[in-house]
Structure 1
Amino acid sequence: MSIPVIILLSAAILLFILSFFQKDRTSILEKELEDLTMSFHQETYQLRKRMGILEEELMGSSFSFAQDTDSPKTGVHEILKNQVISLFQQGLDLEQISRQSSLSLQEVKEVLSEIRKP
């Protein structure tokens, strides 16, 4: 009975010693997950940065997009038309309206003539 106990005890000690030489799979997986997380955060940061640049470019050129889609006569965005009408109703002259709305004098006249037609 003592021989099987000695064999089992020696096998246990041998396996215990071998366990120190085995690669730790969890640490490898943790390292891979950490690398993946870092690359994900870097890509997310770069995408947000690019989105911010695109938003700035779109905000800067939003009036040119609006001019393409509005009425063919004036090509002035509806918000600018409302601003011109509001300034005119406040009693400003055409040159002041032109400066404040960043439209040419001709465009201001066209917007005001459109509201008088109907």
Structure 2
Amino acid sequence: MLTVIITLLIISTLLFISSFFASDRFKSIETQLEQLSLNQMQEAYQLKKKIKILEEELMPEELDFNFTSQPKSPLQSRVEALYENGKSISQISQITQLSAYDVEILINQLIKTR
């Protein structure tokens, strides 16, 4: 009976000592899980960063509606002068040989730019 107890004691100490040298399965799984979650967080951050850059590129920039006035053609200047002198659209169209519609468009553009 004594030999059985001594044998069991020796076996238990050997198993106890060998447990320190054996790799811990849970430790390796935990390390792999941590590494995986870190990689996932890095990828999510990079994707968010890329999406932000793409959104900035695709968003229309503030449009400048204050267009610089282009130099007027002699015809536009003539229509403007006649309009300011009090001529009617039909009179301006006869003088410039433009249609009344074209004269009206030129006058509307003149009014909008003021």
Normalization by structure 2: what TM-score?
0.51
Aligned residues: 71
Give the match for residue 56 of structure 1.
56
Pairwise CA distance, 1:60: 2.0
Q: Map Cα deviations across residues 14-44 of structure 1 (whole Å, 9 max, x no partner).
A: 1111111101222211211111111111100
Name the amino acid aligned to 2:54. Answer: L
Name the amino acid aligned to 1:5. Answer: I
Give the match for residue 20 of structure 1.
20
Q: Map Cα deviations across residues 59-100 of structure 1 (whole Å, 9 max, x no partner).
A: 127x8xxxxxxxxxxxxxxxxxxxxxxxxxxxxxxxxxx52x
Long gaps (5+) in structure 1 = 64-97, 110-118
Pairwise CA distance, 1:52: 0.5
Once residues 60 and 36 of structure 1 are traced to their aligned partners in structure 2, the CA distance between those partners, rounded to angstroms, is 38
Once residues 43 and 28 of structure 1 are traced to their aligned partners in structure 2, the CA distance between those partners, rounded to angstroms, is 23
Once residues 47 and 56 of structure 2 are traced to their aligned partners in structure 1, the CA distance between those partners, rounded to angstroms, is 14
Kindly name which structure, 1 or 2, has the bigger radius of gyration based on alpha carbons.
2
Long gaps (5+) in structure 2 = 70-104, 109-114
Name the amino acid aligned to 1:3. Answer: T
Give the match for residue 6 of structure 1.
6
For 1:60, what is the secondary structure of its paired residue? coil
Give the match for residue 36 of structure 1.
36
Pairwise CA distance, 1:58: 2.0
Once residues 14 and 58 of structure 1 are traced to their aligned partners in structure 2, the CA distance between those partners, rounded to angstroms, is 68
Normalization by structure 1: what TM-score?
0.50
